[in-house]
Amino acid sequence: MQTEIHSVYERQADAPYDTLESLGGGSSGIVDRVKLRGSNEYYARKSIRIPPAGRTQRDQRITKIKEEARIIRRLRNNPHIVEVVSTYETRAGFNPTFCILLLPIADCDLGSMLEHVDQMVEGEEKRSVIRTMKHWAACLARATDYMHYNCVKHKDIKPSNILVRGDEIYITDFGIAKDFLPDTDSASTAWQAEGTRRYCPPEVLNQGRRGRASDVYSLGCCFLELATVTITCGKLALLKQVVGQTYAESEQRVLRWIYFLFSELAFRSFRRHTTSNNPDDDVVLQHAVLLPALAFTMMDSTASKRITARQLVTLISVWDKELYCNSCRVGAPGEDPTLGLHSKFKSRKDLDYPQNPMDALKPDFSPLPESWEDAKMKWLKDHMWWH
Ligand SMILES: [Zn+2]
């Protein structure tokens, strides 16, 4: 069994991989589709340029990134975490590079997927996509729980760090590349990079520690966006506009958005029971009904009151194990009283949703609870027992 996964080459041309096409890239590195020379093996290769630095500093960074790659490699038993196949570095020239070979090769990332789905009109094509996405939230929760159980924090969960291939989903970029960004010189810290700050929980924005609960918050933001494109049409840009720069600094507006989604679901549910059968309502209520509620429990601004990944998977299991894909369903933890969560859902009673969902976004919509905690307590009281 191969244990050493890291190689060193003088030049990029010495590495046995042919570059086939660019798959994109960002501030942390570029990604190419490559082929192992003389084989039929294809990989996604992330190349990170090693910044000019003293030899000691460079070696320390390489040691750290190799350790992280080793940790991620340990997570390979979860079907929704990318696999680090191997790593290598090139040393010569002006552009020494650290490369990570990953599987699978993705079709796109969740960020661009969500933007695409957001623009779809209701109809069979969109219903088909929603059916494709039906396991994603539950499987991402399970992958996060698996990661945390193995003492790994992701530190940068956001839609662009979640890859899509066919109807499968994969978490990638475990902050691996951040170790190569310049050190903590305020404006250049990695979490302030484009697009990342939006998904940071309050405790990270306030320069506090980044714990496992931080991953749950960031994943909750992804769930909120997933819920928005699934339940509504063309509202993702409005969500981003309503929220502004960061979710964490917009607690009341996020709460209103969640009520807006609750209200949309209530409206669809009412319509399904009173008027002729609408297949769009069916597919949304079947596959997305839990999403706003999950986001609600995950985006609590107080880290200690936030649901844990383990509680999350338990909650999902008790609701409906069918939400997981076949692999995740096996061994998904069921109800466990020691988790402090008794997730038996009570019969659903409507909160004070407005009849017109858009009213929830109006600042003077009065029945909305004053604070996140008030809203959560009311929601939990109406929907489940929670201790
Ligand atoms: Zn799964």
ω into residue 159 within 30 of 0, thus cis? no
Q: Could you identify the residue written with the tokens 């409005």?
A: 238
Q: Report the range out of 23-37, 108-122, 164-178, 371-385 with the highest average pLDDT.
A: 108-122
Percent of the chain with pLDDT over 90: 47
Bridge partner list, 103: 83
Residue 333 Cα to ligand 1 midpoint, Å, equals: 13
Q: Is 91 left (phi over 0), alpha (psi -120 to 50) or beta?
A: alpha
pLDDT tens digits along 319-369: 888 999 999 998 888 777 666 654 445 445 545 667 788 888 887 776 677
pLDDT at 295: 94
Residue 278 Cα to ligand 1 midpoint, Å, equals: 29
Q: Which of the four pLDDT bands, split at 50, 70 and 90, describes residue 28?
A: low
Residue 166 Cα to ligand 1 midpoint, Å, equals: 13
Residue 67 Cα to ligand 1 midpoint, Å, equals: 26
Helix, strand, coil percent content, the chain, rounded in steps of 5: 50, 15, 35
pLDDT at 221: 98
Residue 115 Cα to ligand 1 midpoint, Å, equals: 23
Residue 139 Cα to ligand 1 midpoint, Å, equals: 4
**Which of the 8 DSSP states describes residue 40?**
S
Residue 200 Cα to ligand 1 midpoint, Å, equals: 25
pLDDT tens digits along 77-86: 899 999 999 9
Task: Pick the more confident residue, 313 or 193.
Answer: 313
Residue 117 Cα to ligand 1 midpoint, Å, equals: 21
Q: Which residue ranges form the domains of the chain, and what is each CATH number?
A: 6-103 (3.30.200.20), 108-386 (1.10.510.10)
What is the 3-state secondary structure of 221-251? HHHHHHHHHHHCCCCHHHHHHHHCCCCCCCH
pLDDT tens digits along 249-266: 999 899 999 989 988 998
pLDDT tens digits along 93-141: 667 888 999 999 999 999 999 999 999 999 999 999 999 999 999 999 9
Residue 152 Cα to ligand 1 midpoint, Å, equals: 19
| pTM score, whole prediction | 0.88
**Nearest Cα residue to 179 out of 156, 162, 198:** 156
Order the strands of the 6-9 sheet from edge to edge: 6-9, 83-90, 97-103, 42-49, 29-36, 17-26
Residue 227 Cα to ligand 1 midpoint, Å, equals: 18
Task: Pick the more confident residue, 229 or 339.
Answer: 229
pLDDT at 341: 52
Contacts within 8 Å (CB) and 24+ apart, 206-213: 210/153, 210/155, 211/153, 211/303, 212/148, 212/153, 212/308, 212/309, 213/303, 213/304, 213/306, 213/308
Residue 110 Cα to ligand 1 midpoint, Å, equals: 15
Residue 77 Cα to ligand 1 midpoint, Å, equals: 11
Residue 119 Cα to ligand 1 midpoint, Å, equals: 26
